[in-house]
Structure 1
Amino acid sequence: MIKVNNLSFAYDKKNILKDVNLTETEPVIIGLWGRNGSGKTTLMKILSGMEQPNDGTVEVDGIEPYNNSDAMNHVAFMQEDHPYSDMWDINDALRFGRDFNENWDQELADKLIDIFQLPRKKKIRTFSKGMKTMITIAIGLASKAPLTIFDEPSNGLDAHMRKQFYDVLLDSYDEHPRMILLSSHHIEEVEPLCEKIAIIDNNTLMHYEETDVLKNNGVHISGTAEAVRAVVGSKRVLEERKLGKQLNIMLDTPLTDDLKREAEQAGVMIEKAPFQDYLVNLTTKEAELNEHA
């Protein structure tokens, strides 16, 4: 459904994306994570046909999306702060979605608006950020596009709204499997939904893995420097901080029972690192290695 080969994109001679390769042929929910300026937004725009790559090729559902009027029937790109006319109410927004998506499911759209309890007759300009995000989510899911992209879909959502979003997305995916791409700066916001994670950093795709594989790694160890270093041994260190006699280290390794026993015997503290912290330190370390390569 997605085939990206040696994709590069530059703006004003500055590389935004370089040598990106990604192939996925099965329906899947993918989390797209990267820091500001990493190239996430550019990749989403290229996949949706809004930008043309300088080099390489892109296919989505068998078509090249750029300058292709049929792309809207294959890709739905729901941007953060999606632009709606100041004069529109919800029915106007749904008509817009219907007109540009041949797979449009009006019954699902109406159902989602009811679930989200959004007022149909009020102007969208009067809505909160979270309510506007819910409209965008409803249009994206009701599009039933083979590739549906959500940019920062949990922004502005409170805990109740976020739970509703998780539920309706998974229900829609179960009923109509397709490729759904969830972009976020905060991977822990969307990670529970994602079967795979794509990491964009240093202007390229650094990792594309099953979520459970990536999430399994990342360990914090803290204690006296001598004891910590004895446990660390030759394991890969992602971050190291020293506070007086205390040494704190993050390792790129799973938290196994053997490692727990080793830490206990050495008298050091050990715990699973938060997923977001692990990804930040992983990409920072790999960027440093690339600079010195």
Structure 2
Amino acid sequence: MNNAPAPAIEVRNLTKSYRELDALDGVSLTLEAGRIYGLLGRNGAGKTTLMSILTGQGFGSSGEALIFGHSPYENDETLAKICFIRESQKYPDDFNARQAFKAAALFFANWDQDLADRLIEDFALPMKRSIKKLSRGQLSAVGVIIGMASRADITFFDEPYLGLDAVARQIFYDRLLEDFALHPRTIVLSSHLIDEIANLLEHVVVIDKGRIMLDEDAESLRGSAVAVTGSREKVDSFINGHQVLHRDSMGSLSSVTIKARLGETERAMAAELGLELSAVPLQQLVVRTTMAGLQNDNNESLEVLS
């Protein structure tokens, strides 16, 4: 008998269709408890649809979406373990920030008022001003504070921090890591600012056109791709047999991004050929992986030189 705890999130062949459009197309995914995940992809890729189903705000056309082994839809006990903060989070118009936090404290069993107070000070949030009169950045701060101070078992941040300026976003990242170290839980960050959040992530999931394109530990992704730059002939010779994610050429020069971990022998060979090797940042890797997937959709197979 298997007594292992259920994953925090388990998605099995989940599809969500709107007339002729598949917002989610056979998505399968397992996210374990106590880790920080990045759910990355372009606008319209299916990220918000997936999170909405996982938080019980909708349901799939087919397949399953489970939270700790249970469907969240109309399941109050399971929903109480989830906090979902959107970029366009809505609050009653007559609320001020203080009232929004009081309402959140009543809903979330693990609410930490001390953490909320610290964050209120960090973001210099006006507590008595009406929600509808707050700036975009101040409204983002309200959502971020609720998401962090809730200390829910699973917290989804659907880009609510985009309204914050660079300094305020860094405060959010720093406080999130500090509090996660003391109180581990499952956190899912959805963002376009991939390089900004790269150091926070333990696992990366990339979704595009409703399908999972990448599902790997962040550590394994680091160094998993390299850009090779130099004369076209020498570049082509060097990358022979490697999966090509992207190619740029100008005259006799070429820069090719390949999916590969290069050892000392290959790096020495590149140096002998006069080729430049450069690491591929996470954001660029996500973009290249997505573009490679689009090429497949257009019946253009990934280029593998042999």
| TM-score between both structures, scaled by the size of structure 1 | 0.93
Aligned residues: 293
SS in 2 for 1:289: helix
Q: How does 1:237-256 map to 2 (within 5 A)?
A: 237-256=244-263
- In structure 1, what is the Cα distance between the partners aligned to 2:137 and 2:268? 46
Match of 1:146 in 2: 153
- In structure 1, what is the Cα distance between the partners aligned to 2:70 and 2:244? 43
Deviation, structure 1 residue 223: 1.7
1:208 to 202, 210, 215: 215
Moved more, 31-40 or 16-25: 16-25
Identical positions, percent: 35
SS in 2 for 1:234: coil
SS in 1 for 2:128: coil
2:72 to 50, 65, 75: 65
2:115 to 104, 108, 113: 108
Match of 1:164 in 2: 171
Match of 1:87 in 2: 94
> Cα RMSD over matched residues?
1.9
Cα distance per residue 1:220-254 (max 9 Å; x no partner) = 22221111112111111111122112112111113
2:235 to 223, 228, 240: 228
Q: How does 1:7-156 map to 2 (within 5 A)?
A: 7-156=14-163
Cα distance per residue 1:86-145 (max 9 Å; x no partner) = 332210110221233233222322222123221212223333322221211110111121
Structure 1 unaligned regions, length at least 5: none
SS in 2 for 1:213: helix
Judged with a 3 Å threshold, the aligned counterparts in structure 2 of structure 1 residues 113 and 160 are, in CA distance, closer, same or farther, namely same
Judged with a 3 Å threshold, the aligned counterparts in structure 2 of structure 1 residues 256 and 88 are, in CA distance, closer, same or farther, namely farther
Structure 2 unaligned regions, length at least 5: 1-7, 302-306
Contact map agreement 1:153 1:182 (CA 8 A) in 2: no
Contact map agreement 2:87 2:161 (CA 8 A) in 1: no
Contact map agreement 1:72 1:101 (CA 8 A) in 2: no
- In structure 2, what is the Cα distance between the partners aligned to 1:53 and 1:92? 34
SS in 1 for 2:228: strand
- In structure 2, what is the Cα distance between the partners aligned to 1:281 and 1:59? 31
Deviation, structure 1 residue 290: 5.0
Contact map agreement 2:223 2:280 (CA 8 A) in 1: no
Contact map agreement 2:141 2:161 (CA 8 A) in 1: no
SS in 1 for 2:163: coil
